């Protein structure tokens, strides 16, 4: 009981760190990248900065002996980094080529794609309660975020690449942790340097294609530098908690509960930046929260059901072993007490 309580507290701490750091980095980046802020419109390069700092923190941690370094084949790290970077670039291009409404729909479609990929790759099955709660969450978030929907073929292809790569990346994080018995921070320390190097090289070109501006011509003011440092610091906790949460829960759970961050961003945007908050937004957020609660309940019910099945199998296996031992004793002539099986004495 005590162990379960500590596990619950640890899970809540990991999830809390992810929500706080994710919402914090969105707020910081909004000030950094907004035309009314510091107009740093180089999202892909900024992500390269994030992974550079994350990789440095991992290297310092390994050098100080605070974390262990385990071996993962280089080719697996390379293909994972390619998938992860395609996810980032694909999302950025999807936002540029499509309307904000379709961009949000693409992000919401990650949930069913993750479910389908986990079913195909890991043979994971979902109950009707879980499927219904996932639908409620996606519908609720869609109500409060999707407005105009415009689509074109290039934007649609970029969105498809982004959704597929994001889903595959999140499933692979959990698979790597189980396959190589590696912790979340140790895995992040392995992948971050490769992602940082590739994004710092390709990022400026991607950003130039997105907004026709070169980072070499950007004026780095003191305020902009401070917000870049803040964004990078928050990114370390955001990346770490993402790997931690996926390792503890699942890619599907991470996506479903991750929309709590969307709700928090909408509320904070209304509080801090005077963003409009309509009745439609409020109803959508309430529906999404209800879906998250139902999802959490459905997942817990599945866990309890599996626990009961495992316990019953264990009891049945123990009974079979006792019966075999009893029959063995009888056949060997070992004296035994008066015991009758499956019937009562008259």
Tens-of-pLDDT digits for all 346 residues of the chain? Answer: 566 666 666 777 877 888 888 888 878 888 898 888 898 989 889 999 999 999 999 888 888 777 777 788 889 999 999 999 998 888 888 877 777 667 777 777 888 888 888 888 888 877 788 788 878 877 877 777 666 666 678 888 888 898 899 989 988 888 888 888 888 788 888 899 999 999 999 999 988 988 888 999 999 999 999 999 999 999 999 888 888 887 777 777 777 766 777 777 777 777 766 666 778 778 877 887 787 778 777 777 776 776 666 566 655 555 555 555 555 555 555 454 444 434 444 4
pLDDT of 34 reads 83
Residue 34 resides in a domain? yes
The residue among 132, 97, 143 whose CA lies nearest residue 262 is: 143
Using CA atoms, how far apart are residues 188 and 103, in angstroms rounded to an integer? Answer: 27
DSSP 8-state assignment for residue 284: H
Return all residues near 22 (Cβ < 8 A) that are at least 6 apart: 238, 241, 258, 261
Integer Cα distance of 171 and 119 in angstroms: 11
Residue numbers of the domain that contains 172:
2-301
Q: How many CB atoms lie within 10 A of CB 339?
A: 7
Angle CA 14–241–289, to nearest 5: 65
Is there a domain that residue 326 lies in?
Answer: no
Confidence (pLDDT) at 120: 85
Rg (CA), the chain: 25
Structural tokens at position 153: 């073929």
Dihedral over Cα of 112, 116, 117, 118: its sign? positive
pLDDT value of residue 5: 66
For residue 113, give both structure tokens: 């794609």
Q: Which pLDDT score, from 0 to 100, does residue 328 have?
A: 54
Enter the pTM of the model. Answer: 0.72
Kindly tell me the burial class for residue 233, based on how many C-beta atoms sit within 10 Å of its own C-beta (0-12, 13-18, 19 or more). middle
Q: What is the pLDDT of residue 1?
A: 55
Domain tally, the chain: 1
Distance CA 144, CA 263 (A): 9
Nearest Cα to 135, choosing from 106, 108, 166?
Answer: 108
Q: Is residue 337 part of a domain?
A: no
Is residue 328 in some structural domain? no
Mark residue 333 as left, alpha or beta (left: phi above 0; alpha: psi -120 to 50; beta: remaining): left
Structure confidence at residue 61 (pLDDT): 85
Structure letter (DSSP) for residue 252:
H
Q: Helix 74-97 crosses helix 153-179 at what angle (to 10 degrees)?
A: 150
In a domain, 308, yes or no: no
**Confidence at residue 276, expressed as pLDDT on a 0 to 100 scale:** 67
């Amino acid at each position: 009981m005590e162990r379960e309580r500590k596990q619950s507290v640890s899970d809540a701490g990991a999830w809390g760190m992810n929500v706080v750091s994710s919402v914090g980095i969105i707020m910081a980046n909004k000030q950094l990248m907004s035309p009314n802020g510091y107009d740093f419109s180089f999202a892909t390069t900024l992500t390269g900065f994030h992974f550079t700092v994350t990789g440095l923190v991992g290297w310092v941690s390994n050098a100080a002996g605070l974390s262990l370094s385990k071996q993962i084949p280089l080719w697996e790290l390379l293909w994972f980094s390619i998938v992860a970077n395609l996810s980032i670039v694909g999302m950025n291009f999807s936002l540029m080529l499509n309307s904000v409404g379709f961009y949000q729909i693409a992000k919401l479609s990650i949930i069913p794609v993750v479910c389908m990929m986990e079913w195909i790759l890991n043979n994971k099955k979902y109950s009707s309660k879980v499927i219904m709660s996932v639908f409620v969450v996606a519908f609720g978030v869609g109500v409060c975020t999707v407005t105009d929907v415009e689509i074109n073929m290039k934007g649609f292809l970029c969105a498809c690449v982004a959704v597929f790569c994001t889903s595959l990346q999140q499933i692979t994080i959990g698979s790597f942790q189980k396959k190589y018995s590696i912790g979340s921070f140790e895995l992040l320390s392995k992948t971050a340097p490769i992602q940082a190097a590739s994004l710092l090289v390709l990022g400026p070109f991607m950003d130039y294609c997105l907004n026709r501006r070169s980072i070499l011509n950007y004026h780095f003011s003191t305020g902009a530098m401070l917000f870049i440092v803040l964004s990078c610091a928050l990114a370390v906790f955001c990346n770490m908690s993402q790997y931690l949460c996926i390792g503890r829960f699942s890619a599907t759970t991470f996506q479903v509960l991750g929309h709590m961050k969307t709700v928090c961003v909408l509320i904070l945007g209304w509080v801090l930046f005077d963003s409009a908050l309509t009745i439609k937004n409020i109803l959508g957020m309430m529906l999404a929260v209800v879906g998250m609660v139902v999802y959490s309940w459905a997942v817990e019910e599945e866990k309890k059901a599996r626990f009961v099945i495992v316990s019953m199998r264990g009891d049945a296996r123990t009974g079979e072993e006792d019966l075999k031992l009893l029959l063995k004793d009888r056949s060997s002539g070992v004296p035994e007490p008066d015991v009758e099986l499956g019937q009562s004495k008259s």
